[in-house]
Amino acid sequence: MLTTISSSTIFFISLLLFGIGAVGSLVLAKSDKWANVAGSVFAVSGSISGLVSSLSVLIKNSVFSFNFDLLAPLLSVSFRVDRLSAFFIFVISLIALVASIYSLGYVKHFYNKYNIGALGFFYNLFLAGMLMVVSAHNAIFFLVVWETMSLASFFLVIFENKEKSNLRAGYLYFIMTHIGTAFIIMAFLLLYRSTGSFDFTVIKNSMGEVSLLVKNLVFVLALIGFGTKAGIIPVHIWLPRAHSAAPTHVSALMSGVMIKTGIYMFIRIFMDMMTGIPVWWGVVVLVIGSVSSLLGVLYALTEHDIKRLLAYHSIENIGIILLGLGSSLVFWASDMKSLAVLGLVASLFHTLNHATFKALLFMGAGSVISQTHTRNMEEYGGLIKHMPQTAFFFLVGAMAISALPPFNGFFSEWATFQSLFYGIKSLSVSVQWVFLLGAGSLAFTGGLAAACFVKAFGAIFLARPRSEEAKHAKESAVTLRIAMAILAALTLVIGFFASYITSVLATVASSVRALGFAEPVFSSAAGAFSLKDGFATVSMPTILFSIVAALVLAWIVLKIINRQAKIKIERTWDCGTNLNGRMEITATGFSRSIITVFRGLLKPTKQTDVEYHDADMRYFAKSSAVHLGIEDIYLNNLYKPLQALVARLAAHVRKIQLGNLNVYVLYIFLTLFALLILLAF
């Protein structure tokens, strides 16, 4: 099939299928069931053809492009799928495929409550939007599809519109994403001014004429603009709110892949279009990566809303991806292209890995939410007995994201560490410290992520139930479990074949113009991934096999030593009281000690409400409640002052708004006059 139909045709078939899915679910909106089936089935088939087309590009290395000029002068519908685009299309289609299988069963609990037709429409539009974002090759067209993706995801965030908090989250997302877009537009306009084109290839080829100042400006603008989508700190504030508000299969896509479109554009602009970049770009990206990864995981620890916890982990993982990307930028700017390949491969690998395990974790969370109808982890507990399969899949995801061997998360963190180590040992003193900082924050991030997922898994699935819903939970629908099983298997398989995948990713990474097909510093043979100078080696299959072998050995030895051991089932030792669900440790209690350690950064708050029997005699409390939380330092110290400033400026601007038509005509005339004068020079 691959030989008869070209990969470009398959790519457009995939877009077409999403289109049919979108329209189809609107047409069938009368019946919830059929709208869901149409939306999901076409999304599944669209994702499959997306997968096929991206794989054929990656394997056959056949770049394809498509150009169609519209009547509008600057807007041309222009696609180009090279290896970098194909890699991102692969990741998006992979997660979209699993999420669409998941949605078949998951959307059922929205029946008769919300408009399923609209969900299917925006869902398919969102998927098509993401695919076009990573393949668009013209800045104006890019902005159109970027907005399509953002707006479709906005409507998905406010899908459950009967809850006030979701509307607020959606509104914040709407504002933040458009602030981001404003920066992106400025970046493209600057590039247009220097190169005279919106076409990516033309921009790329005339990069030599662009002055360093413009390049630096474009860097900063793109960093803020695309960073807002990627969720770097401090422009992350929309992310935990919006990702937790959206329906779960959409959260999985937003957290797993949508934020990666920001990473894609970082690579596209910084490493494919730009030339001759200064070292400080990479340094800035490394610092942002360190801060985002460390703070992201710390904020995740403070959460007891399961989806917000996962959303904060996305910030952490974007930080880890940026550590790889930043080191790659520094290496490239220092003219060490072989090392830059290592950094970029680590970054791409973590992009793939984070997509798989984050989608898995969101789906596990969604499966739990569909049974307990709450996102509050304090109201779960003991679910492993009622939902054993969900629990198992969630545990796999938790281990993968905590970078524990033998799963895939370990390998990409290992590779990121190596690229940071190479920075420490082979660069000059002026940048070594940043790599040291990056390695330090990555080391702490790994430990803290493990702590956070012990907390999450323990609070959700272990011990005794803490609410009636948790007591009567049942295993979720079969499509949900199939979706999770696929992803859980993928985390292990990707980990197992890590060294093979790195050799594919190396071709992707070295195909960006910056790296010019440089020979990477690593090699992979027989399942082992090693750095060519013998600095370090890791073999994921060996790790897996030795763990399995040691487990089997321990089990056999114990069986031999103690053949007739009996196991008695008894109550947990309870000091004579009856243990109930309220006595076990909670998610808040679990992480409180870490929060106390980092109180300087997190600013924990504690509010005690006591109600007395007699207000005058404060001895006998009727009820007392303690609220533990953390201060939102970004809202209080950055966004609120900014908002106040904008409001003050707006008040001044209002003075020219007189309400008199003649004055407005004068304004128009003056503007025209000023423009004409400007044109004359």
Partner 1 sequence: MTSIIIWTIQLALVPALSPLFVGVIRKIKARFQNRVGASIFQPYNDLWKLLHKDEVISEDASWVFRFAPYIIFAVTVIVGASIPLFATVFANNSLSDLLVIVYLLALSTFFLALAGMDTGSAFGGFGSSREMTVASLTEGGLIFSMLALVFAVDSANLFKISEAVSAFPLVAMMPIMLAFAGFLIAMLAETARFPFDNPATHLELTMIHEAMILEYSGKRLALVEWAAANKLLIFLALGANLFFPWGIATTVGLMPILAALGWFVIKVLLLSLLIAVLESSIAKFRFFRLPDLLFTSFILSVIAISLIIFI
Q: Which stretch binds partner 1 (CB under 8 A): 82-90, 221-229, 431-439, 606-614?
A: 431-439
Give the separation between CA 85 and CA 489, rounded to whole angstroms: 25
Looking at the Cβ atoms of 551 and 674, the one nearer to partner 1 is: 551
Dig out the tokens for 317 from the structure: 């993982």
630 SS3 class: strand
Looking at the Cβ atoms of 281 and 410, the one nearer to partner 1 is: 410
Q: Which stretch binds partner 1 (CB under 8 A): 313-321, 329-337, 432-440, 607-615?
A: 432-440
Q: How far is the CB of 468 from partner 1 (least distance, A)?
A: 17
- 582-611 residues in contact with partner 1 (CB under 8 A) are 583-585, 589-594, 596-597
Give the separation between CA 270 and CA 219, rounded to whole angstroms: 7
> Cα dihedral sign for 397, 130, 91, 117?
positive
Looking at the Cβ atoms of 183 and 411, the one nearer to partner 1 is: 411
77 SS3 class: strand
What does each C-alpha distance from 130 to 26, 85, 136, 289, 657 come to in angstroms?
20, 11, 10, 24, 41
Helical (H) or strand (E) element with 606: strand 604-612
Q: Which stretch binds partner 1 (CB under 8 A): 47-55, 278-286, 352-360, 559-567?
A: 559-567
Sole binder of partner 1 in the list 70, 525, 554, 665 (CB under 8 A)? 554
Which residues 6+ apart lie within 8 Å of 642 measured at CB? Answer: none
Helical (H) or strand (E) element with 676: helix 661-680
Sole binder of partner 1 in the list 165, 537, 624, 643 (CB under 8 A)? 537
Looking at the Cβ atoms of 3 and 593, the one nearer to partner 1 is: 593
- 204-263 residues in contact with partner 1 (CB under 8 A) are none
Q: How far is the CB of 344 from partner 1 (least distance, A)?
A: 20
Task: Answer yes or no: are the C-beta atoms of 382 and 465 closer than 8 Å.
Answer: yes
Q: How far is the CB of 596 from partner 1 (least distance, A)?
A: 6
Looking at the Cβ atoms of 108 and 592, the one nearer to partner 1 is: 592
Dig out the tokens for 1 from the structure: 């099939």
Residues 462-501: x/- map of binding to partner 1 (CB under 8 A)? xxx-------------------------------------
Give the separation between CA 557 and CA 538, rounded to whole angstroms: 29
Q: Longest Cα pair distance anywhere in the chain, in angstroms?
A: 100
Dig out the tokens for 565 from the structure: 């051991």
Sole binder of partner 1 in the list 550, 635, 646, 649 (CB under 8 A)? 550
Sole binder of partner 1 in the list 46, 324, 366, 382 (CB under 8 A)? 382
Q: Is 618 exposed, middle or buried (0-12, 13-18, 19+ CB in 10 A)?
A: exposed
User: Which among 226, 241, 406, 408 is positioned nearest to 318, based on CA atoms?
Assistant: 226
Looking at the Cβ atoms of 27 and 424, the one nearer to partner 1 is: 424
Does 278 engage in binding with partner 1 (CB under 8 A)? no
User: Which among 314, 312, 298 is positioned nearest to 259, based on CA atoms?
Assistant: 314
Q: How far is the CB of 597 from partner 1 (least distance, A)?
A: 5
Q: How far is the CB of 295 from partner 1 (least distance, A)?
A: 15
- 383-422 residues in contact with partner 1 (CB under 8 A) are 384-385, 391, 395, 399, 402-405, 410, 414, 417, 421
Does 362 engage in binding with partner 1 (CB under 8 A)? no
Alpha helices in 402-474 (DSSP H): 408-426, 429-461, 468-471
Looking at the Cβ atoms of 158 and 463, the one nearer to partner 1 is: 463
Dig out the tokens for 530 from the structure: 């090693």
Looking at the Cβ atoms of 567 and 676, the one nearer to partner 1 is: 567
Looking at the Cβ atoms of 86 and 365, the one nearer to partner 1 is: 365
Looking at the Cβ atoms of 555 and 664, the one nearer to partner 1 is: 555
What does each C-alpha distance from 487 to 87, 100, 104 come to in angstroms?
18, 13, 16
Sole binder of partner 1 in the list 249, 268, 350, 455 (CB under 8 A)? 455
Give the separation between CA 162 and CA 115, rounded to whole angstroms: 12
